[in-house]
């Protein structure tokens, strides 16, 4: 199969990093969490889910009962067969034949996937919880019997949660009794489409409905060694252009605030232990020779304790076919903008040629989010280095961060207090620590500025 299209998704990460070129499907794609970008791209490409009008996806809106019925109908039948369903009669009084979801609600009701809410009504605009949608997916996509698995009755939510975890359908998304966001619904649906792929990729719902299989690739040219996934279909041109689509995988776990315990990772891995030999670890684009520790239930030991601290992030990717994990630890630095070549844009504001930002660390990064007026500003950077603490050889992503001003009342190696508020800091990943600031002539009581991220981690302090 020919490789025709490579879509590198630009994720809405904690720092809104802006140097990754990407194909944005929706105008509000920046609101889609990094853990869900792959799912939204694939499901929208298969036309299982669409936008909400005006070019928006509304990723944080709650999934409705009618939307869930359409998603499941498309997952089971595909677009052509789903749209060919009749809507000559209505199963529920509040979903008449004129309602956009009538055919999907009727189909799901006939298959025993959904039921009404009483008095002959369906409540199509009613909101769904994670457990409710999870149950629908277990029954329809994974073919579990609701009665046999205890998905009805007083304990149905607990049993749904247990089954979603044991079957890895909830891997990468938090499922609860709370309302389920549309982007999280996509993640659950994608996991369900490929349920069982580790045993036989041709037995999945993805293959039965769309003739779709996927291959987890770890190309060395991928930024920071993030895995790529190639989705291949035998239906030439039926969905996206050509037969293949390559996307950057979404991590199923993402921590933007330093230390993460083995027990927390165990929970994120659908309560499965992960042995060292299952893990490939990269730190700032360099592969680690040894793996710190095994992921185990109840473990309070921090994973990669010496490196994963304030000012670092962890991304975890899972390859179900090989039962393998890719762990990526990334550190952030501060730098000062020394020069900007603005992006070339057309009359509508679309970028024709990206701009360039020169930094005080000697690196140059492509970005269309800065102008000459930003010269002299301190920014957060993410790049590639030999180890997590060495200076970047290249910078791939930059973000503005937040500058906070106030009186310095305390300055330690790993913290400062500015304007009466405490901020954490990781000395070896920052330009100036609290102790260094004092050693260089700064004093308690100075009116200072600090550069912080959205988790109030300090990367620079100056007078």
Distance CA 15, CA 1 (A): 37
DSSP 137-159: HHHHTS---TTTTT-SSTTHHHH
The residue assigned the tokens 């037995």 is 203
> Which helix (DSSP H) or strand (DSSP E) does residue 262 occupy?
helix 262-268
Paired residues of 410 in beta bridges:
417
The answer to whether the beta carbons of residues 70 and 189 sit under 8 Å apart is no
Could you give the dihedral angle defined by the CA atoms of residues 79, 82, 87 and 90, in that order, rounded to the nearest 10 degrees? -120
For 208, the enclosing helix (H) or strand (E) is: helix 205-210
Q: pTM of this prediction?
A: 0.84
Q: Tokens 């550069």 — which residue?
A: 451
Q: What is the pLDDT of residue 388?
A: 78
Supply 170's token pair: 């909830």
Q: Look at residue 382 in the predicted model and tell me its pLDDT.
A: 87
Q: In sequence order, which ranges of 26-169 are alpha helices (DSSP H)? A: 37-45, 65-83, 102-110, 130-140, 156-166
Each residue's pLDDT, cut to its tens digit, for the chain (463 residues) gives 322 222 223 333 333 333 322 333 688 888 999 999 999 999 999 999 999 988 899 999 999 999 999 999 999 999 999 999 998 889 999 999 999 999 999 999 999 999 999 999 999 999 999 999 999 999 999 999 999 999 999 999 999 999 999 999 999 999 999 999 999 999 999 999 999 999 999 999 999 999 999 998 876 567 888 999 999 999 877 788 788 999 999 999 887 678 899 999 999 999 999 999 999 999 988 888 889 878 999 999 999 988 888 888 899 999 999 999 999 998 888 999 999 999 888 887 777 888 999 999 999 999 888 999 999 999 999 888 877 778 888 898 898 999 999 999 999 888 899 999 999 887 777 778 888 899 999 999 999 999 998 888 899 999 9
List CB contacts of 154: < 8 A, sequence separation 6 or more: none
Q: Render 271-324 in DSSP notation, one character per residue.
A: S--B-GGGEEEEETTEE-SS----B-TT--SBTTTTTSSTTEEEEEEEETTTTE
Q: Kindly give the pairing relationship between strand 244-248 and strand 6-7.
A: parallel
Q: How far apart are CA 399 and CA 456, in angstroms?
A: 14
Q: How far apart are CA 96 and CA 87, in angstroms?
A: 9
Give the model's pLDDT for residue 24: 39
Q: What torsion do the CA atoms of 89, 115, 56, 206 make, to the nearest 10 degrees?
A: -100
- Sheet architecture: strand order including 228-233: 6-7, 244-248, 228-233, 212-217
């Amino acid at each position: 199969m020919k490789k025709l299209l490579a879509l590198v998704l630009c994720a809405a990460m904690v720092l809104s990093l802006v140097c990754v070129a990407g194909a944005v499907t929706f105008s509000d794609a920046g609101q889609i969490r990094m853990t869900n970008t792959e799912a939204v791209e694939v499901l929208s490409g298969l036309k299982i889910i669409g936008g909400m009008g005006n070019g928006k996806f509304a990723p944080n809106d709650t999934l409705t009962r009618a939307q869930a019925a359409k998603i499941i109908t498309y997952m089971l039948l595909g677009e052509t067969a789903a749209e060919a369903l009749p809507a000559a009669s209505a199963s529920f009084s509040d979903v008449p034949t004129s309602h956009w979801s009538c055919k999907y609600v009727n189909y799901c009701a006939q298959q025993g996937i959904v039921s009404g809410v009483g008095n002959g009504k369906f409540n199509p605009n009613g909101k769904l919880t994670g457990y409710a949608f999870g149950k629908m997916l277990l029954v329809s996509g994974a073919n579990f019997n609701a009665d046999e698995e205890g998905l009805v009755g007083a304990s149905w939510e607990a049993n749904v949660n247990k089954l979603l975890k044991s079957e890895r359908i909830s891997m990468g998304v938090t499922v609860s009794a709370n309302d389920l966001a549309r982007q999280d619904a996509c993640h659950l649906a994608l996991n369900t489409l490929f349920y069982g792929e580790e045993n036989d990729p041709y037995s999945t719902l993805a293959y039965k409905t769309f003739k779709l299989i996927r291959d987890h690739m770890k190309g060395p040219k991928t930024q920071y060694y993030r895995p790529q996934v190639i989705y291949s279909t035998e239906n030439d041109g039926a969905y996206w252009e050509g037969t293949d689509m390559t996307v950057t995988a979404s991590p199923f776990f993402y921590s933007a605030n330093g230390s993460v315990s083995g027990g927390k990772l165990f929970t994120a891995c659908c309560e499965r232990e992960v042995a060292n030999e299952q893990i490939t670890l990269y730190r700032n684009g360099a592969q680690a020779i040894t793996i710190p520790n095994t992921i185990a239930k109840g473990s309070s030991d921090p994973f990669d304790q010496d490196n994963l601290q304030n000012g670092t992030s962890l991304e975890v990717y899972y390859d179900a076919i090989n039962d393998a994990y890719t762990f990526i630890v990334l550190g952030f630095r501060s730098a000062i903008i020394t020069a900007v070549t603005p992006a070339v844009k057309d009359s509508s504001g679309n970028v024709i040629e990206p701009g360039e930002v020169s930094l005080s660390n000697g690196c140059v990064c492509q970005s269309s989010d800065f102008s000459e007026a930003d010269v002299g500003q301190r920014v957060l950077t993410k790049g590639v280095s030999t180890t997590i603490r060495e200076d970047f050889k290249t910078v791939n992503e930059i973000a503005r961060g937040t500058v906070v001003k106030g009186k310095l009342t305390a300055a330690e190696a790993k913290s400062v207090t500015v304007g009466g508020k405490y901020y954490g800091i990781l000395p070896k990943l920052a330009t100036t620590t609290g102790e260094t600031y004092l050693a260089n002539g700064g004093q308690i009581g100075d009116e200072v500025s600090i550069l912080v991220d959205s988790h109030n981690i300090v990367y620079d302090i100056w007078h």
